[in-house]
Amino acid sequence: MRYKKILITGGAGFIGSNFIRHVMQGAGIFKGTIVNLDKLTYSGNRANLRDLEDDRRYTFVKGDICDEKLVARLMKGCDLVINFAAESHVDRSIQDPSAFIRTNIVGTQVLLDAARKYKIKRFIQISTDEVYGSVARGYSDEESPLKPNSPYAASKAAADLLVRAYFATYKMPVIITRSSNNFGPYQYPEKVIPLFITNAIQDQKLPVYADGSNVRDWIFVGDNCSAVLFAALHGEAGGVYNIGGGTELKNIELTRMILKILKKPERLIAFVSDRPGHDKRYALDSYKLYKLGWRPAEGGFRHKLEMTVGWYKENQAWWHRLRLKKQKFW
């Protein structure tokens, strides 16, 4: 690992916490230090990394990426910054976009300005396939136009354009990764896979939008983490890298798979009215990252989904505590 001091933002969330674990416990001993800056919004959970808190290589700082002074203080001396921090739930962005604009756009600008000031060696912006909008046929590659349809996707696309502009204008060594839908341990149970697993375990209904024919491409979070690290180590400045899982599924197919793994009946499925502006299909062309040499870990989607279901079965205290807080989503 050529980086010595890494600033991770949003590292108490789902993907960020998996990423920190991936770097600190992964193959090849990481000898540098990681600072995790996280505001601990409803989806941030310090317990995700509790076991690493005594590790001298790791420091947690509670704070906001929009806080210029704090960001500048933390970024000093860093050589790599990875921005996972975001408001990330599409349904919440439809209810109220304001926090999405603030964190996802203004927060990214604050980070970029500090990274520029301190001449950070690599700045990785974690983006999403949703910036390309719905794709009826074929696949989105990195040159495809950005056509976001939800306030969430629009805020992520705006951040991507800012990052691009800082490369063009200031020659900053930035990289953007755009992954498809992630699943795995520590995902806040409002998102479809953990929501359906935890509902099914409790014999509650699984609310499927419309007729369940919307298609998503799924990637195991560990594979996304290895791809982000790979892009940080081998990607070129100014580069955009799609990270697809190569598993396209209709939502209803995914729902049936989860029920089957848990040996629960299909009568738990409840079709509900569609999300406004619901994108029909996302599909990524990830050839660019493959060409650079990245590959996902062994084992297919079904195996990784079974592992994920197993994790939620074994870690019920983790999600029961989160689900005590009443949400519209459960």
- Catalytic residue list: 129-130, 152
* Residues 55, 300: Cα–Cα separation, whole Å: 33
Q: The tokens of 108 are what?
A: 């990214």
Report the 10 Å Cβ neighbour count for 327.
13
Report the 10 Å Cβ neighbour count for 95.
9
* Residues 48, 50: Cα–Cα separation, whole Å: 6
SS (H, E, C) the chain: CCCCEEEEECCCCHHHHHHHHHHHHCCCCCCCEEEEEECCCCCCCHHHHHHHCCCCCEEEEECCCCCHHHHHHHHCCCCEEEECCCCCCHHHHHHCCHHHHHHHHHHHHHHHHHHHHCCCCEEEEEEEHHHHCCCCCCCECCCCCCCCCCHHHHHHHHHHHHHHHHHHHHCCCEEEEEECEEECCCCCCCCHHHHHHHHHHCCCCEEEECCCCCEEEEEEHHHHHHHHHHHHHHCCCCEEEEECCCCEEEHHHHHHHHHHHCCCCHHHEEEECCCCCCCCECCECCHHHHHHCCCCCCCCHHHHHHHHHHHHHHCHHHHHHHHCCCCCCC
Please, which residue, 228 or 252, has the CB nearer to ligand NAD? Answer: 228
Please, which residue, 15 or 305, has the CB nearer to ligand NAD? Answer: 15
Please, which residue, 41 or 251, has the CB nearer to ligand NAD? Answer: 41
Q: How far is the CB of 201 from ligand NAD (least distance, A)?
A: 20
Please give the residue ranges that form the binding site for ligand NAD (CB under 6 A): 9-10, 12-16, 37-41, 43-44, 64-66, 84-88, 103, 107, 126, 128, 156, 179, 181-182, 188
Q: How far is the CB of 41 from ligand NAD (least distance, A)?
A: 4
Please, which residue, 38 or 264, has the CB nearer to ligand NAD? Answer: 38
Please, which residue, 11 or 173, has the CB nearer to ligand NAD? Answer: 11
Residue nearest to ligand NAD (CB): 13
Please, which residue, 191 or 264, has the CB nearer to ligand NAD? Answer: 191
Q: Which residues lie below 8 Å from residue 70, measured CB to CB, with a gap of 6+?
A: 37, 61, 63, 64
Q: How far is the CB of 62 from ligand NAD (least distance, A)?
A: 9
Q: How far is the CB of 156 from ligand NAD (least distance, A)?
A: 6
Please, which residue, 51 or 266, has the CB nearer to ligand NAD? Answer: 51
